[in-house]
Amino acid sequence: MPENDLVVVESLHKAYGATVAVDDVSLTVRPGEIFGILGPNGAGKTTTVESIAGLRTPDRGTVRVAGLDPHRRRTEITSLIGVQLQASELPDKIRPLEALRLYASFYPAPRDPADLLEQLGLTKVKDTPFAKLSGGQKQRLSIALALIGNPRLAILDELTTGLDPQARRDTWELVRQIRDAGVTIVLVTHFMEEAEYLCDRIAIIDNGRVVALDTPAGLVAAARSEQRLSFRLPAELPDDSVLTALPAVHTVSRDQDRIIVTGNDDVLVAVVTELAGRGLAPIDLQTERTTLDDAFLALAGRNFEGAQ
């Protein structure tokens, strides 16, 4: 194991009865990075991070955090990792300062609750009951609770789900500040834009497997060898296989009434020629910028949104 990896996951496998949640996941997280785990709903993201946090027992494979087995070394792991899980609901009446003081009492070397509230912009609402906080404030409190134990690693799961665009942006800045203050972050998300904006490296998980692991730029560059066209047609195609049968075409998908085709450098000519032979002229034909969405499409063979 390279000494500088904070998290090492090797060939992780976890099934719930007949449902294989994590099939074969290997990844490493380096100290100081924001590492994204990106994938559609049900891909196995939460099971993977819960295994890292020692909250699930793997059926096979190994997990090490700072060289420790999280399942066997519960006490040490609890103070190394701060977890903000999806359903972190608190009692309606609890107040932020009170909640942080309570959580602080569980840890050997906690952060100062008042300082943390200040850092997260929650000082003004420190005595406001949880139920009266805005969505963004609740979310920031759940992040504060993940940080109160002064962890080396914070696991943030779907942290901006349900937030409006401004609160989401604010939360992204906050995550960067936390990382800049020295906390390594594993960020679980199904938002492409969030992963692209925030993460140093991303593992794309689909059907319990890592289908790609790279920097956002690396993932996009790998997909850029693909050309991507989108257009509408004046009449329906008899079948998508008309296009998928063309050697230059890799994938065909749909976004409402638009057809999206990816393929090699010859794809534009091949598709337009095929359609012309059928008396169909594409309407509003566009070649589009390659994004992480396209990387997912190229890797998983289907649209990310369609995989939800």
Ligand X SMILES: Nc1ncnc2c1ncn2[C@@H]1O[C@H](COP(=O)(O)OP(=O)(O)OP(=O)(O)O)[C@@H](O)[C@H]1O
Binding track over 16-35 against ligand X, x by CB under 6 A:
x--x-x--------------
Q: How far is the CB of 25 from ligand X (least distance, A)?
A: 10
The answer to whether 214 and 222 are in contact (CB under 8 A) is yes
Taking the complex as a whole, the smallest distance from the CB of residue 291 to ligand X amounts, in Å, to 20
Q: How many CB atoms lie within 10 A of CB 137?
A: 19
Nearer to ligand X, 64 or 190 (CB): 190
Q: Segment contacting ligand X (CB under 6 A): 3-11, 15-23, 169-177, 269-277?
A: 15-23
Q: What is the radius of gyration, based on Cα positions, of the chain?
A: 23
Shortest Cβ distance from residue 163 to ligand X (Å)? 16
Q: Write b or e for each residue in 157-167: b if 16 or more Cβ atoms lie within 10 A of its Cβ, otherwise e.
A: bbbbeebeeeb
Of 9 and 267, the one with the shorter C-beta distance to ligand X is 9
- Rounded Cα gap, residues 57 and 24, in angstroms: 14
Nearer to ligand X, 20 or 94 (CB): 20
* Nearer Cβ to ligand X (157/294): 157
Q: Does 250 bind ligand X (CB under 6 A)?
A: no
Length of the chain, please? 308
Query: How many residues sit in the footprint of ligand X (CB under 6 A)?
Result: 12
Contacts (Cβ under 8 Å, ≥6 apart) of 45: 37, 38, 39, 157, 188, 190, 205
Query: Scanning residues 37 to 76, which ones bind ligand X (CB under 6 A)?
Result: 39, 41-47
CB of 184 to ligand X, least distance (A): 20
Contacts of 12 (CB under 8 A, 6+ apart): 22, 24, 25, 26, 48, 51, 58, 60, 61, 62, 63
Residues lying near ligand X in the complex (CB under 6 A) are found at 16, 19, 21, 39, 41-47, 190
